[in-house]
Amino acid sequence: MKVKFWGVRGSIAVPGPKTVRYGGNTTCIEVRTDNNELLILDAGTGIFALSQALLAELPVTANILITHSHWDHIQGLPLFIPNFIPGNTLRLHGGFDPVSGKGIEQVMDVQLQYSFFPVREAELKARIEYVTLMPQETAKVGSASVTPCLLSHPVIDFGYRIDCNGKSVFFTGDHEPPYNIYAPDDEQFADYQVFVEEKNQSILEAVRGVDVLIADSSYTDLEYATKRGWGHGTFSSSIALAKAANAKVLVCTHHEPTRSDDALEQVFAEAMAANHDVCAGMDIRLAREGDVIEF
C-alpha cells in the first residue's frame, strides 16, 4: 500500500514563503492499493495538484472518501480535472447528513450551483457516482475494505480505516477526542461519562493495530484550552491514541493555518518533549505535501 500527501493544512489554504516546506493546501491524501486502485481521502485544495498528476494515467477511476462536508475538505472537488474528461469515473463516498436529509451527493450539488461555480454537474463529462456509507459497515472498494468510524466533530464526521492484503491505514479527518460536557457535580455527569468512555473505546478498536495512523493534531495543549469544542485534536491526543492502538506510524496533520513551517516544527518538537515517556519507541512524523509512505 502507498500513501501520498497532497494537502496537510486545516481550515484554509495558506500558500506562501512561510509554508513551502510542509505545504499550504488543505486536506487531500492519496492511497494506492497493491493493485494500484486509487482511493482519495478528502478533497481539499490539494486534490487539484493530484488531479493534474492523474492526467498521465487516463482513464481514471477515483474513489474519493469524504470525511465530512466542511469547506476545507471538499473545496477542491469542482476543480478535479478528470471530472471534465469522458471515460473517467468519480465515485464519491461519504455519510448521510441528518440535518439536510441528504447523502454525500449534496457536497457536489451545493458547490456546483451557478451562484458559486460556472459549470453544472450535468455538464461534467466523467461518470459521477455516489455511495452513502453507514458507520461501522465495511464497504469493498476494489481489493480494499473501507470501514467508516463515526468520530467527534461539529458535523457528521467519519474516520476511515482502509485494509488491503494485511495492510492498514486509518485517517481521522477532523477529530476531537470525546469528553464529558457536564461538570462533575452535575447529575448528568455519570451517565454522560459512560457514553464518553464507550465512544473512546469504539474509536480505539477501530484504530487498533493499523500500520499508519493519520490524525488531526491541530493544536498544542495550551491552545486547546481555549478551543475546546471546536472539533480538533492535539499532538498529545494523537500520540495517546497511537500509543493505545499500537499504531506502527503516526502522522500528525491538519496543521493550524496560522503556523509557519518554522513554528510548526517548534511546537512539534515541544510536543515530543512533553510526551517523551509516551513517545519512546514510536515513529511519529509531521505530514508534509509530497511525502510518500510505502508499506
pLDDT at res. 291 = 98
Which H or E element spans position 202?
A: helix 189-207
Measured distance CA(290)–CA(60) in Å, rounded: 20
Q: Which CATH architecture has domain 2-294?
A: 4-Layer Sandwich (3.60)
Residue indicated by cell numbers 488491503: 164
The predicted structure's pLDDT at residue 99: 85
C-alpha cell at 259: 503556523
| Integer Rg of the chain from CA | 19
pLDDT in tens, 88-115: 999 999 999 888 899 999 999 999 998 9
Q: Model confidence over 214-248: pLDDT tens digits?
A: 999 999 999 999 999 999 999 999 999 999 999 99
Per the DSSP assignment, residues forming a β-bridge with 92 are: 64, 130
Task: In whole angstroms, give the CA distance from residue 130 to residue 93.
Answer: 6
Measured between alpha carbons, how far is 170 from 43 in angstroms, rounded to an integer?
17
What pLDDT score does 145 carry? 98
Share of the chain above pLDDT 70, in %: 100
The predicted structure's pLDDT at residue 207: 98
Please count the CA atoms within 13 angstroms of the CA of 135 that sit on its side-chain side.
Answer: 15
Is the per-residue pLDDT at 191 higher than 90? yes
pLDDT at residue 277, as a whole number: 94
State the pTM of this model.
0.96
Lowest mean pLDDT among 111-125, 137-151, 240-254: 111-125
User: Which residues are CB-neighbours of 195 under 8 A, at least 6 positions away?
Assistant: 178
> In this predicted structure, what is the pLDDT of residue 28?
98
What is the CB neighbour count within 10 angstroms for residue 111? 15
**In this predicted structure, what is the pLDDT of residue 133?**
96
* Neighbouring residues of 237: CB distance < 8 A, sequence distance ≥ 6: 176, 177, 217
Retrieve residue 174's grid coordinates: 477532523
- Cis amide bond preceding 177, omega within 30: no
Banded model confidence at residue 293, pLDDT cuts 50, 70, 90 = very high
What distance in Å separates the CA atoms of residue 158 and residue 173, rounded to the nearest whole number? 7
Alpha-carbon distance 52 to 46, whole Å? 11
* 127, 89 contact by CB (below 8 A): yes
Q: What is the pLDDT of residues 236-282, one digit of tens each?
A: 999 999 999 999 999 999 999 999 999 999 999 999 999 999 999 99
Domain ranges of the chain: 2-294
User: For residue 157, is pLDDT > 90?
Assistant: yes
pLDDT at 185 over 90: yes
Q: What is the 3-state secondary structure (H, E, C) of 116-133?
A: CCCCCHHHCCCEEEEEEE
By DSSP bridging, strand 127-133 and strand 167-171 are unpaired
Tell me which DSSP letter residue 97 carries.
B
pLDDT in tens, 34-88: 999 999 999 999 999 999 999 999 999 999 999 999 999 999 999 999 999 999 9
